[in-house]
Amino acid sequence: MKQNGFAPILILIAIVVVGAIGGAYYLGTKKAPEPQTSTTSSPAVQTTPSPSSTPDETADWKTYTNTKIGFVIKYPPNIVPLAISGLGLGPVDGNDLDGLEFGMRPTADGGLTSDSGVDVSMSMTVFKGSAIDFVQSGVWKKNPNLGCLPNELIKQEKINAIDALFYNAIGSICTGTDQFVFLTGKGYGFTFSNNDNWTDTELKIIRSFQFTN
């Protein structure tokens, strides 16, 4: 039987086709090399140092402690706290219940003078309620040293977590710049007054007020 001359050619073509398919499969499945990524160092983060805490300007002040009610208040070392009793002034003993006066300074001859540049009168009145209730009640007027009336609420703020109200004052004996600060706690209402706009030192005295327990 005579052999077909095309058979070897067909076989050769089949081999070439199979080889091409296999090569294409191999090249398609071969994992491509991962691209090289350039790395650059991040710029150093510059931090601004936090400002130092504000120094306590009352650090060298003295402290009056009232053990009867339970509060403390600081005052400059060049003045003497006095107890208000009726219309008189006397030495403090920590059990004072009528009021306190911060503003007198000692003189060379052993006396006291009011030319210290500080004038903070503080009265304590039995009262339970908020600062605004205290103002509206008028109970604070029992202090005979207070001849003015709160007229205009200037602002309100927290003094060592205590609600405090700042008022301008009016009255026949007022100078036109008299001011009040009212706050309450411990079963008492506290009234701070002066006969002029509060100075920075006077505000520091008031804002040092805090209850002891």
Strands 188-194 and 71-75: unpaired
- Domain residue extents for the chain: 62-211
**Cα–Cα dist 207/213, whole Å:** 17
Structure tokens at 101: 């006066």
Handedness of CA 126, 127, 132, 133 (dihedral sign): negative
pLDDT in tens, 195-213: 778 999 999 999 999 999 8
CATH match for 62-211 among 3.40.1000, 3.10.450, 1.10.8, 2.20.130: 3.40.1000
Q: Rounded to the nearest 10 degrees, how much is the dihedral formed by the CA atoms of 199, 203, 204, 210? A: 160
Is the pLDDT confidence value at 71 over 70?
A: yes
Note the pTM of the prediction, 2 decimals. 0.71
Query: Which of the four pLDDT bands, split at 50, 70 and 90, describes residue 146?
Result: low
Structure tokens at 43: 């710029």
Q: Quick one: pLDDT at residue 109?
A: 93
Q: Give the percent of the chain with pLDDT over 70.
A: 69
3-state SS class at 99:
strand
Task: State mean pLDDT over 125-148.
Answer: 81
Q: Return the biggest CA–CA distance within the chain.
A: 154
**Cα–Cα dist 17/23, whole Å:** 10
Residue among 202, 179, 200, 199 nearest 191 (CA): 179
Residue 183 parent element (H or E): strand 179-185
Q: Quick one: pLDDT at residue 1?
A: 47
Query: Which of the four pLDDT bands, split at 50, 70 and 90, describes residue 69?
Result: very high
- DSSP letter assigned to residue 119: -
Task: State mean pLDDT over 52-59.
Answer: 78
Task: State mean pLDDT over 174-183.
Answer: 81
Residue among 82, 65, 153 nearest 118 (CA): 82
Q: Quick one: pLDDT at residue 43?
A: 53
Length of the chain: 213
Q: Quick one: pLDDT at residue 35?
A: 52
**Cα–Cα dist 139/143, whole Å:** 9
Percentages of the chain per state (helix, strand, coil), in multiples of 5: 20, 35, 45
Task: State mean pLDDT over 66-80.
Answer: 96
pLDDT in tens, 82-129: 998 877 899 999 999 999 999 999 999 989 999 999 999 999 999 999
**Cα–Cα dist 167/170, whole Å:** 10
**Cα–Cα dist 40/99, whole Å:** 71
Is the pLDDT confidence value at 25 over 70?
A: no
Average pLDDT of the residues of the chain: 80
